[in-house]
Amino acid sequence: MVNMRVHELLDHWADRFPDEIYVSDGDRSLTWNEMREWTHRVGNWLADALQPGDRFCMLDRNSLEMIALYFGASRAGVVPVPLNFRLAPLEWKYIAEDARCTLAVVHEDYAEALTAVVPGVTASVIRDDRNSPLRFADDVVAYPADRIDRDVPAEAIYHQMYTSGTTGKPRGAMVTHRSACANAFQIQLALDANRKRTLCVMPLFHAGAALQILAYTTGGCSIRVVRDFDRVSVLSAMSELRIQLLTLAPAMIQDMVGDPLTAELDFTGLDLMVYGSAPMAVEVLRKAMSIFGCDFAQAYGMTESCAVSTILAPEDHHRALGADPGILMSAGRPVIGTALRVVERDGRDAPVGSVGEVLVRGPQLMSGYWALEDATRAALDGGWLRTGDAGYLDADGFLYISDRVKDMIISGGENIYPREIEEVLFAMEGVADVAVIGVPSERWGESPIAIMVPRPGADLTEQHVLDHCRANLARFKCPAEVIFVDSLPRSAVGKVLKRDLRAPYWQGLARAIN
């Protein structure tokens, strides 16, 4: 589809608008040309430190330095391995050692903890008190911004992004320059995101956020980087900076729509809000559409597909406000160059409307898992990526995700998809958050239970919840129990960690669900 290296996306606009602001964080701003020079500087330093194809870790919150590292590594032909700053140090150790990293570029907040668990790594430390446009170590800053002469092929690995580990040990998904550029162009064509003022909120160690930077760069957008998500700061920035485009996790949107500040701010400059990385309750989405008054688009994908496979476009959201409200349950249709299949357990294509496992094929797929040949063969079955998601296609080619295959509950021989129950529960007044999991049942094998977070002051009781479910669901889908908690465990991008919720119930049993 494309035969480019990632840094060429930056160079395209640096040639055309060298003096326009490309990235800023509120304190610092870099033009397109200034960032290009910094990525040459970083690239030269990396090229002297590492051989082509070598891996290195990077560990920071959202920052201009993170963006420079992605593009600088592209020029040097080395492979960044972003670490989630929210992980425990021993989890960093697993990833760094699995990727065989000998170098880490790390913010001072994490340097001591990282080097304590990975003593063999050389740490180059980003320090906030440095008097430099980008706050890299002095030896990096001192490098010349000369053009690098390394020949980096489009099929070389651009980054190695580790899966979130919500269903087991994280795996390093290797994405090539060609695949990353293809997905950036696919998103650009689907959303027409050209020359916009954008906000980068999603964490840059995540595949979706890394791709978001490429897609925004492909469209020549100006990017305001937010170091951490804080709903008041993000809402204020959206209004004050007249942000036109941003991407958020559903949990972030859910947090924002419940804040009274939304009634006081002006969002008339906002054109498009993209959401993805986890399911969003339809009721939350409807409220967001009413509050922000802009177009919405949903992106569905995973680390192994670079990030995005399907998009529920703004026009589809408009349809939902008219005669087709059910379409909001859809993950959309494939982006250009992408094909979908839904298959039954025997591998045959499932009929329209019948649930099976979702398979994806397209130029954006990973080349494989690092050092895991068997897992790669299992995941990339004849060129099709097995997503592990259960879903179905309708007659118009729209994809509907029922749940993760591993989250499906089999109760008395019936397949129960937790997301269906969660949608019903989210429609109740006073519900802030909810997760449905399967727990052992002597009679049925498994039974669903609901774990719920009430809103402050809400008058929710177990009986009230069960009555609501019985009025809206088949009897076998109704939770056997309702548990009220203060919060649900979530990953860095808002996915509920159902494995953590299930673990106490399945501990010591022969049949456990991952």
User: What is the average pLDDT score of the chain?
Assistant: 93
Other CB atoms within 10 Å distance of the CB of residue 338: 23
Is the pLDDT at 514 greater than 50? The verdict is no
Backbone angles phi, psi at 204, to 5 degrees: -75, -5
- Calpha distance 38→144 (Å, rounded): 9
Helix (H) or strand (E) holding 476: none
Residue 472 lies in a domain: yes
CATH number at residue 466: 3.30.300.30
Confidence class for position 508, pLDDT limits 50, 70, 90: low
Q: Is 144 helix (H, G, I), strand (E, B) or coil?
A: coil
H-type alpha helices, 241-357 = 250-257, 282-292, 314-320
Q: What angle do CA 80, 86, 90 make, to 5 degrees?
A: 80
Helix (H) or strand (E) holding 163: none
Answer with the residue of higher pLDDT: 479 or 166: 479
For 495, the domain range is 418-506
Is the pLDDT at 250 greater than 90? The verdict is no
Confidence class for position 66, pLDDT limits 50, 70, 90: very high
**Strand duo 21-24 + 29-31: pairing:** antiparallel
- Calpha distance 400→397 (Å, rounded): 10
Cα 96 to chain centroid distance, Å, stands at 21
pLDDT value at position 513? 37
Is the pLDDT at 18 greater than 60? The verdict is yes
String of b and e for 400-433 (b: at least 16 CB within 10 Å)? bbbbbbbbbbebeeeebbbbbbbbbbbebeebbb
pLDDT value at position 282? 81
Residue 3 lies in a domain: no
pLDDT value at position 226? 98
Residue 444 lies in a domain: yes
Closest among 177, 187, 265, 267 to 221, alpha carbons compared: 187
- Calpha distance 250→387 (Å, rounded): 20
Furthest-apart CA atoms within the chain: distance in Å? 70
Structure-derived torsion over alpha carbons of residues 251, 253, 258, 264, reported in degrees to the nearest 10: 150
**Strand duo 295-300 + 272-276: pairing:** parallel
Which amino acid appears at position 240 of this protein? E
Other CB atoms within 10 Å distance of the CB of residue 228: 11
Confidence class for position 1, pLDDT limits 50, 70, 90: low
**Strand duo 368-369 + 172-176: pairing:** antiparallel
Q: Would you give the end-to-end CA distance of the chain in angstroms?
A: 36
Backbone angles phi, psi at 125, to 5 degrees: -105, 130
Residue 433 lies in a domain: yes
What is the number of alpha carbons within 13 Å of residue 474 lying toward its C-beta?
Answer: 10
Residue 84 lies in a domain: no
- Calpha distance 365→303 (Å, rounded): 9
pLDDT value at position 512? 41
- Calpha distance 252→249 (Å, rounded): 5
pLDDT value at position 165? 56
Helix (H) or strand (E) holding 510: none
- Count the domains in the chain: 1
Residue 49 lies in a domain: no
Residue 148 lies in a domain: no
Structure-derived torsion over alpha carbons of residues 227, 233, 234, 239, reported in degrees to the nearest 10: -130
CA distances for 16 relative to 221, 389, 413, angstroms: 13, 42, 62
- The token pair that represents 430 in the structure block: 């006073």
To the nearest whole percent, how much of the chain has pLDDT over 70?
Answer: 97
To the nearest whole percent, how much of the chain has pLDDT over 90?
Answer: 79
Average pLDDT over residues 7-11: 98
Residue 34 lies in a domain: no
Residue partners of 192: CB distance under 8 A and separation at least 6 = none
- Calpha distance 405→252 (Å, rounded): 25
pLDDT in tens, 128-180: 999 999 999 999 999 999 999 899 999 999 999 998 655 568 899 999 999 99
- Reduced DSSP (H G I as helix, E B as strand, rest coil) percent helix, strand, coil of the chain, to 5: 35, 25, 40
Beta strands in 306-456 (DSSP E): 310-312, 333-334, 339-343, 356-361, 368-369, 380-381, 384-393, 399-404, 409-411, 414-416, 431-441, 445-454
**Whether the Cβ atoms of residue 250 and residue 433 lie closer than 8 Å to each other:** no
Query: Position of tokens 């339809």?
Result: 282
Average pLDDT over residues 391-398: 96
Average pLDDT over residues 471-480: 92
pLDDT in tens, 103-126: 999 999 999 999 999 999 999 999
pLDDT in tens, 301-354: 999 999 999 999 999 998 887 788 889 889 999 999 999 999 998 999 999 999
Is the pLDDT at 279 greater than 80? The verdict is no
Average pLDDT over residues 418-423: 89
- The token pair that represents 48 in the structure block: 């002297």
* DSSP classification of residue 288: H
Confidence class for position 71, pLDDT limits 50, 70, 90: very high
